[in-house]
Structure 1
Amino acid sequence: MKKTTHFLMVAVVLLFSTVMMAQSTVSGTVIDADLNSPLPGANVVEKNTTNGTSTDFDGKFTMTTKATSGQIVISYVGYGSVTLSFNGNTNLGTIKLTSDNSLDEIVIIGSGVIDLAEDRQTPIAVSTIKAQQIQEKTGNSDLPEILKSTPSVQSIQGGGFGDGQLFLRGFDQTNTAFMLNGQPINSPEDGRMFWSNWSGVLDVAQAVQVQRGLGSSKLAISSVGGTVNIVTKTIDKREGGFVQQMVANDNYTKTTAAYSTGMLKGGWAFTALLGHWQGDGWKDHTDGQGQTYFLSIGYKPNENNIFNLMVTGAPQWHAADGFNSLQRYLDNGRRYNFAYTGVDSPNLLKGGFYPTGRNIYHKPVANLSWDLTINDNSSLSSVLYASAGRGAFASTRRSNNIPTYARGSNNNHNWYGLISNYSNQLNENLSLNVGVDTRLYNGIHFRSVNEFLSVNSVSASSAYNGGSYEITDVFGGINPWNVFFNPNDDHKQRLHGFGNYDYEEHINYYGVFGQLEYANDSFSAFFQGSVSTQSHVRTEYANATAEGKSEESDKINNTGFNVKAGASYNLNENNIVFINAGYYSRQPFHSDLFTDDRSSNQLNPFVKGNQKITGFEAGYKFLGDQVSANLNIYHTTWDDKIDYSSRDTDDDNFDDEFTQTSPLKQVHMGVELEVFTRFMDGLDINGFISVGDWTYDGNVTTRTTDDTGAVVSQGATSYIDGAKVGQAAQFTAGISADYEILPRFKVGANWNQYDNLYGNADFGSDEFENQSNRGSIKLPSYDTVDAGVSYKWLLGKDDKNSLQFRVNINNLFDEVYIENSRDNIHVDAGDVTWKGVNVDNGVRFGYGRTWNVSMRYNF
């Protein structure tokens, strides 16, 4: 806590030590031309003089010029400069800067359905990561890693490529809404996110915006912790491209190339990106490889219409890393991951290592956007999208500890949707948005044989298939392209019987939404509302009772809604206060509705209705010339939630028992402070502190089943009242600094501190049963330091081309730390511990020191 105390003192000094500047004769507001968001720290210089200033954190500037008339030059690193004339006291209004990177000068379309915070006057708790920072700092990490220097965000790296997780205000990814160009991308079944399926989005991202809490999204989305908006490139306005090569630790390599035609005669524009990556993984035996593709076809027939077709995908496979006991890591090292040796696999050299689990998936996504400008005051934006996912998690089955075959747990889907939003500026102060949100989803789940290892066939049995039968064919292997184009549609070649499943579901969602906002120079207020209906039908094959006859569940219909309202008041141009409140009546996930959605149409008796989320937040924004700050407080209550926990009972890395609870209640409250400073040109020093208190309220009853769906225990009481919510640190803090030492030569580093981190509340464990609630175990605090250096070398005529170099070192000092625990085993007399943690807990260590180096040629 000593480091944190020092940081808090610095943040408070920065927040309250600003001396306000005097009036000036030339003023204006500098914004990003693509995102319509302020550009703080832009340089404003009177031409042919040394007289200048910088924009504040609202993008505004005022300055006194030495001459009564002349020109000023406005510039910002990574953007093209603008020269404007003035004559006497002049307000230049809004000045738009565009990126000087050939693939960053874009037209964002579908903007009417992309709920960026800048589109609404009333503030929210928000942080935005833009293209330049994404390009520099992402390296070979998942998206959650670039968000860890924002308040109340915890990034868990996981074990394998694409297995990262994000926690926002203590809520996991299933309860944080993720949007790609306005399209919801969380699984409709259970809200989960798999970053391995989205590894390419950061290559084409224009911005990533984290909206904590209530956010600005108008959709009735499954958001409790907040919303993450990913905005990708669409229509590039000028010709150009790049080629990039990256290498990193553990034999990682990634090659990416992109090209845009720019806007051609006739209004057409084309952009394409291709990439390939592969590596061994930081954890033992977590190798993987994949591709990235992105295609954008834009058409602008006139000033009132813009169309864009986007197709993107990231086919990949990667070996997985499970949880191991802390003792096993102490015995074998923190990189330890079990794999079989000497296995003769069609996809590996004889005698190589064969992982206990591997993810293989291909999920192409296509969306067609249309932006229609109706008149000066109204517009219509629509996005029609589709996704067809195919793939499996292949786990190794064994007999007498000898691997026999790789069993694929397939999760295929067909997903279609339409979002359309009409916007109207009713008058100078009042704006209206209304729209529709439709989603149609078909999930296809079954188990099959992905590879034969030491056998040539596998026996299965079900009434649907007329009794016993032999599976002699394999599907998929580890090739995601083969999985996609050659899926297993034959029920006789799917695994039925003990511990296996074969079922489908259809989930249809229809919603309407709207927002009304009033804004004048000093006050703004908004009201949002949405209502939706969602239907569920489940079809069973493996456990059907008649040959060739599937069994269909009754249709389940749920209606949900949400309402949000807020207001803000500008005390003056530097000080803003705001308050927001909201209530969600959220339909249960499909996975909540059945006692075991893998094997039964039986409805879950624990589900009594919708989940209820109530949120309140208030904030204060300070906008100064050299210092800016955001202070937020929040309180979120989540009631009637159905929860699951899972346990590995035999230390084989895979879940063997699953516990489901009756409706439970969580209460999350906290305070967040962000401070941004620029005391001199080229030097940015920013920091944040988040202090949370996240607990369970009340006790629950539990139902535990094994991997086959058989009931292990039912009706037990889990005494969790007052226990801390685990897996994400309830105290986080960080400081980051970036300094442009020489033109286009920049160094930077960030330090992050994590404390009040607790183990997962395992509802079915002895720690919470029989009135023995001992709370959640507390894990050791830790801190990490990341550093980077970059240089941009200008080339070609008029310096239009460039060669960029970037080096990142993460966890610079090789901190050894537990990033989360799936168990909650306390310490009793005589127990063996490591830093106060019982070594019987299943944990995951964070990555040690890693690095990546990239070279990028822009043309």
Structure 2
Amino acid sequence: MKKLHVSFLFILLSIVCTAQQTALVQCKVLEMQSGNPIENAIATLQSTNQTAITNSEGVFILEVPAGKQVLVISSSGYISQTYNLTVVPERKLDLGIALLESDLTAEQQLSLITLTEDDLNDNIVSDNTSGLLQASKDILQQSAAYNWSQARYKSRGLESQYATTLINGVKMNKISDGRPQWNNWSGLNDATRNQEFSLGTTPSDYTFGGLLGTQEINTRASVFRKGSRISFTSTNTSYNWRTMATYASGMNKKGIAYVFSASRRWAEEANFEGTDYGGNSLFLSVEKTLNDNHSLNFTGIYAQSNRGKNSANTEEVTNLMGEKYNSYWGYQNGRKRNSRDIDIEEPILMLTHYYKINSHNSLQSNIAYQFGKIGNSRIDFQNVANPDPVFYRNLPSYYTSQYNNNPSSVPDEAYLPGGLGGVYTGNTPENMALSQQAIQSFTATPQLDWNSMYLANTRAVTDDNNIETGRVADVSKYVLYEDRNDDRTLTVNSILQSQLSNNILFNAGISFKKLKSHNYQKLLDLLGGIYYNDIDPFFTGNQAQSDLNNTNRTVGVGNTFGYNYNLYATQADAFTQFKFLYKKTDFYLSQSYSRSDYQREGLYQNGIYSNNSFGKSEKVSFDNFGFKGGLSYKLTGRLMFAVNGLYTTKAPALRNTFPNARLNNTIVPEIAAENIASVDAGCIIRIPKLKARLTAFYTQINNTTETSFFFAEGIYQGENAETNAFIAETVTGLNKRMMGTELGIEYSFNTTLKALFSFAYGQYTYSSNPTVYVNNDAFASLQQEVNLPNIATSPTTNFGESQLKNYKLPGMPQQACSLGFEYRDPKYWWIGANANYLTGSYLDISALLRTDNFFKNPQDANGFPFPEVTQQRSRELLKQEQFEDIFLMNIVGGKSWRVKKKTYLGFFASVNNVFNSIYKTGGYEQARNANYRQLNQDVSSGTPSFGPKYFYSYGRTFYLNIYYNF
């Protein structure tokens, strides 16, 4: 099959194309408001995708095939102009002057990453992908980006690892999870505004691409429009204030161009309680033209941010404290201190060589190096009470969900089908009184108590009469630490672009990436103590030791403890792409190959996994292939039909390959690459007053692997010990199906008023019953002490199939529609409003709870299910929760003033969710009750201790940006 495919490509290359008669088209592009020439404006011929770029005088010349043609002239920050041409062979066509009007809505595009970056940077909370397409002119994608992203809408149900983000042709998706780390260039909206997009599986000139499309950010200094810009922003989303300044020199007579940008973002407290924010960003791009064929560009990006997180809460906690409640913070010395900060600082250095081989061929080569850290802080404690204010024992539900499960005092009917397996005692006078006390205590002190933690870390000093005279530092019982990832990534790549003939374009690229990721716990604050014991207090003896090579160790601020390991990865990939462009028909073919190698190196010899933690693991390798193609047929110049198809395999993410990488070298059993198949078909209409796109799509993703971590009870109980523990759950063989249709319509009533309508209907489901593996530290420790039945010799236990088939993919609306109107006044102001309706968002469910093990009675020697299990009650307990429908009204607008010839003052403002709707944006089942009896009892109490946890919307938000261009 492979040989046939290669042969087919050679046949295509050998096709001799009939030479077409051509003519030269010339035009001068000026800014409408000032009459100044626009440098680096792009003229694109729609029939062949040929392009030309304007020079410093705003002039371009393009060789165009004879006949009727459509030419589009565009530039960042301006409204594109479209020209219908009739080209006569060998007769030069001068279009004269093209005036481009400033696009006031460009400020909306520049603001989008600012508005959604808090949703994009925390994969624990969400994985919003709408920001990928923020500058797209497609109406549907604008709705997804500007309006639906508030509800965590995901285009076509896809997560961001299925999109490809590039900077100067260098892939920025992380090897660890496959996702772009948006915070690596956050706050640099002006510097990253030059972008190219390909939607879905359509071709990109820079890479094979992904299911969700490709975003190429171009930071070449010479493409920036000369000038300066300063702006000031106020908002109430992830931060409150931002200031930004940017300067672009343009290309001078010495062949040097440079761009500098800097910004600062901050908030004492952002939208949710206790969520402080601080961010500093710097950007530098310098280009030196060596001669007519060679140019070098250096890009440096530094974007540091620190943000306090907000907690997901159960309905019980929300009912007591409200949707804005955040359990992660508490007062210390009169100031709010958040215990869960995420700190990101990963600079990017990139050197790019542009080589214009000749008028039809160019080669771009890059070497990039990224380094830095990502830290997520939290509290650790030993042999003291859990400091979490929403710890289940602190809440009233702990008392009102009590049951007596002592077999000697439980009536027989409790074990009959439909029974509870115990006697409900949550309504006894004693428990009801304790519940009321818990309500009073929690609502009176609902936040972290930093002072009590400091007090616990000191001891009293007494005099000879045993009278306390003060307190001094002691061994810390509570500390603040961070989970650290220090990544070092080197990337080298080259991209070739070639025009083989008037009708055939060829793109190819090769890339090599090498990663060393150091992962460890770092102690940040002893909270008044003098040192901390590097042990696991839930185990004894050698098993309590984090590192058997250095036992009974004590650690201080800045020290590594707990876990310490390296992950190594190398990726090599290559792609080729042919685009065939004709008068009526365009089609493309693309193929790719990649190889990924992963390995773990343990730097600690963990006491539980003494034989499987220290040193290097086996190396895991994945070879992957991809093929895609598409065809578009232009029925007329105004109606086009298109179909695209893709089949590819994709290596699992590095983090999903080692299920418990913190403690051991175990590799997910029989791990393999994902298999992805996708097809979409649709039509595009472009007439003077109407633009529309209708698309139907179908995507099947097979054999995905996902890993999660949580504390579970009741998984297994033996005679000698109870194996409740913090576990690593790995789901393999998980298939997902996404299918649906999209419609986007833009209708212009006149030159000032237009209507916008978008509709997306999707059905996104799990399409298989995957296998669940559990890596349980308690299992592993017991293997060393007792001979337990049904416990495998490996620390990873196969729990069999999970009945996930036909459940909905979680955390996103599956259907959405938007209706809006936009008015652009000739005096350079505009206003728009839209109404949005979103539905079909579901809770993230637990795979473990849908295995056969969930129904097994751990006290039954034969592994029979609980006697009280019924099919009806099981369906009720395991039914996936659907969130309420969402209605959002948004208003946007702006205006600009010309101060001098090249100087402008303007503002952009938006109000989202005008009616202040509060809704669930996501959530997940807690799998702590890991067997039927425990979950049934907890839910049947009416006040479950371990109900689902939810994230909530911001409510009404605003964004105001004032800018000055000069």
- Shorter-chain TM-score tier: 0.7 to 0.9
**Counterpart position of 2:884:** 780
Is the 2:190–2:246 Cα contact (8 Å) retained in structure 1?
Answer: no
CA deviations on 1:404-429 (whole Å, 9 max, x unpaired) are 22111001101111221122211121
What is the one-letter code of the residue matched to 1:332? M
CA–CA distance in 1 between the matches of 2:151 and 2:355?
38
Residue 529 of structure 1: how far off its partner (Å): 0.5
Q: Label 1:81 to 1:248 Cα distance change in 2 as closer, same or farther (>3 A).
A: closer
Residues 164-179 of structure 1 aligned to structure 2 (within 5 Å): 167-179=154-166
Q: Does 1:394 align with 2:377?
A: yes
Contact 1:759 1:824 (C-alpha < 8 Å) held by counterparts: no
Deviation at 1:295, TM superposition (A): 0.4
> If the length of structure 1 is used for normalisation, what is the TM-score?
0.77
511-520 or 538-547: bigger deviation: 538-547
CA RMSD of aligned residues (A): 4.2
For residue 638 of structure 2, the aligned residue among 563, 574, 582 is 574
Where 2:189 maps in the other structure, the secondary structure is: helix
For residue 666 of structure 2, what is the amino acid of its counterpart? Q
Q: Which residue of 1 aligns with 2:575?
A: 513
Name the counterpart of 2:494.
420
- Report the equivalent of 1:366: 349
Structure 1 residue 333 corresponds to structure 2 residue 316: no
Q: Larger helix proportion, structure 1 or 2? A: 2
CA contact under 8 A between 2:707 and 2:729: conserved in structure 1? yes
| Preserved contact between residue 911 and residue 958 of structure 2 (Cα < 8 Å) | yes
Q: Where do 1:605-754 residues align within 5 Å?
A: 605-607=669-671, 609-647=672-710, 657-705=727-775, 714-754=798-838
Kindly report which structure 2 residues correspond to 1:462-611, keeping only aligned pairs within 5 A, or say none: 462-463=546-547, 465-474=549-558, 493-496=559-562, 501-543=563-605, 550-607=614-671, 609-611=672-674
Instruction: Assess if the C-alpha contact under 8 Å between 1:220 and 1:561 holds in 2.
Output: no
Q: Distance in 1 between matches of 2:79 and 2:488?
A: 43
Question: 1:543 is matched by which residue type in structure 2?
Answer: Q
Q: 2:673 and 2:156 mapped to 1: Cα distance?
A: 22
Q: State the TM-score, normalized to the length of structure 2.
A: 0.69
Matches within 5 A, 1:768-807: 769-770=854-855, 772=874, 774-796=878-900, 799-807=901-909
Contact 2:285 2:298 in 1 (8 A): yes
- The residue aligned with 2:474 is none
Give the number of the structure whose alpha-carbon radius of gyration is greater: 2
Distance between the aligned counterparts of 1:702 and 1:156, measured in 2?
A: 38
In structure 2, distance between residues paired with 1:738 and 1:38:
28
Rounded to whole Å, the distance in 1 between the matches of 2:601 and 2:99 is 52
CA contact 2:606–2:664 (8 Å) conserved in 1: no
Which is further off, 671-680 or 710-719? Answer: 710-719
Whether the 8 Å contact between 1:165 and 1:173 is mirrored in structure 2 is: no
Sort the Cα spacing of 1:208 and 1:165 in 2 relative to 1 into closer, same or farther, 3 A.
farther
The superposition leaves residues 321-359 of structure 1 with CA deviations (integer Å, 9 ceiling, x where unpaired) of 12111221222111110134344xxxxxx2432223111
1:263 aligned counterpart, secondary structure = coil
Select which of 313, 325, 328 maps to 2:302: 313
State the shift of 1:249 in Å. Answer: 3.0
User: 1 CA distance for matches of 2:147 and 2:372?
Assistant: 24
Taking structure 1 as reference, are residues 136 and 218 closer, same or farther at Cα in structure 2, changes over 3 Å only? closer
Amino acid at match of 2:296: F
Counterparts in 2 of 1:87 and 1:408: CA distance versus 1, 3 Å? closer
> Contact 2:69/2:86 (CA < 8 Å) preserved in 1?
no
Q: 1:157 to 1:628 in 2, by over 3 A?
A: closer
Per mean C-alpha deviation after superposition, the further-off stretch among 565-574 and 248-257 is 248-257
TM-aligned CA distance change 1:164 to 1:537, over 3 Å: farther
User: Is the CA contact 2:271–2:954 (under 8 Å) kept in the aligned structure 1?
Assistant: yes
Question: What is the SS of the residue equivalent to 1:281?
Answer: coil
Question: Shift in Å at residue 824 of structure 1?
Answer: 8.0
Contact 1:181-1:231 at 8 Å conserved across structures? yes
1:294 lines up with 2:283 in the alignment:
yes
Cα distance, 1:206–1:88 mapped onto 2, change above 3 Å:
closer
Give the match's secondary structure for 1:197: helix
Alignment partner, residue 478 of structure 1: none
Q: Which moved more, 1:566-575 or 1:452-461?
A: 452-461
Q: Say whether residues 1:275 and 2:263 are aligned partners.
A: yes
The answer (yes or no) to whether the contact 2:26–2:95 under 8 Å persists in 1 is no
> How many Å apart are 1:602 and its aligned residue?
1.7
Q: Deviations over 1:719-770 (max 9, x none)?
A: 1111111111110112343312351111122332211111113212259955
1:155 and 1:167 in contact (8 A); partners too? no
Q: Residues of 1 paired with 2:94 and 2:567: CA distance? A: 54
Question: In structure 1, what is the Cα distance between the partners aligned to 2:95 and 2:847?
Answer: 55
> What CA distance in whole angstroms lies between the structure 2 residues aligned with 1:704 and 1:156?
40
- Matched residues in 2 for 1:163 and 1:62: separation? 40
2:364 maps to which of 375, 381, 385: 381
Tell me by how many angstroms 1:592 deviates: 2.6
State whether structure 2 residue 178 is matched by structure 1 residue 191.
Answer: yes
**Aligned residues of 1:219 and 1:530 also touching (Cα < 8 A):** no
Residue ranges of structure 1 left out of the alignment (5+ in a row): 1-25, 40-59, 64-73, 105-128, 344-349, 475-492
Kindly state the Cα deviation for residue 781 of structure 1 after the two structures are TM-superposed.
1.0
Q: CA deviation at 1:77?
A: 11
Shift of 1:777: 1.8
CA shift in 2, pair 1:390/1:581, >3 Å: same
1:100 CA displacement: 7.8
Q: Judging changes above 3 Å, is the alpha-carbon distance between structure 1 residues 220 and 550 closer, same or farther for their aligned structure 2 residues? A: farther
Give the deviation of 1:663 after TM superposition: 0.9
Structure 1 residues 832 and 691: CA distance shift in structure 2, 3 A: farther
CA shift for structure 1 position 297:
0.2
Distance 2:146 2:909 in 1: 22
Identity of aligned residues (%): 20
Letter in 1 for 2:667: L
- Could you tell me which of 439, 445, 461 is aligned with 2:513? 439
Query: What's the CA shift string for 1:654-687, capped at 9, x where partnerless?
Result: x955421131211111111111222211334322
Residues 792, 750 of structure 1: alpha-carbon distance in 2 compared, 3 angstrom cutoff: same
Taking a change above 3 Å as real, the CA distance of residues 855 and 687 of structure 1, as seen in their structure-2 partners, is same
1:854 shift after superposition = 2.1
Evaluate the alpha carbon distance shift between residue 466 and residue 98 of structure 1 in structure 2; reply closer, same or farther with a 3 A threshold: farther
Query: Relative to structure 2, which stretch is displaced further, 740-749 or 433-442?
Result: 740-749
Once the two structures are superposed, residues 492-530 of structure 1 have per-residue CA deviations (whole angstroms, 9 ceiling, x without a partner) of: x2113xxxx211011111112101121111111111001
- Aligned position for 2:960: 853
Question: Structure 1 residues 342, 723: CA separation in 2 closer, same or farther (over 3 Å shift)?
Answer: closer
* 1:204 maps to amino acid: A
Q: Give the unaligned 5+ runs of structure 2.
A: 1-24, 31-37, 47-66, 121-128, 388-451, 454-477, 535-544, 714-724, 781-794, 856-870, 928-934
Where does 1:16-31 land on structure 2 (aligned, <5 Å)? none
* Contact 1:152–1:690, Cα closer than 8 Å, also in 2: no
One-letter amino acid matched to 2:172 = I
Matched residue of 1:776: which SS? coil
Look up the SS of the partner of 1:206 in the other structure.
coil
Q: C-alpha distance in 1, partners of 2:508/2:172?
A: 21
Check conservation: 1:508, 1:534, Cα contact below 8 A. Answer: yes
1:8-19 equivalences in 2 (<5 Å)? none
Is this contact kept in 1: 2:152–2:811, CA < 8 A?
Answer: no
Aligned mates of 2:936, 2:190 — CA distance in 1: 45
Structure 1 residues 744, 169: closer, same or farther in 2, change over 3 A?
A: same
User: 1:423 corresponds to which letter in structure 2?
Assistant: Q
Amino acid at match of 2:810: G
Amino acid of the structure 2 residue aligned with 1:175 = Y
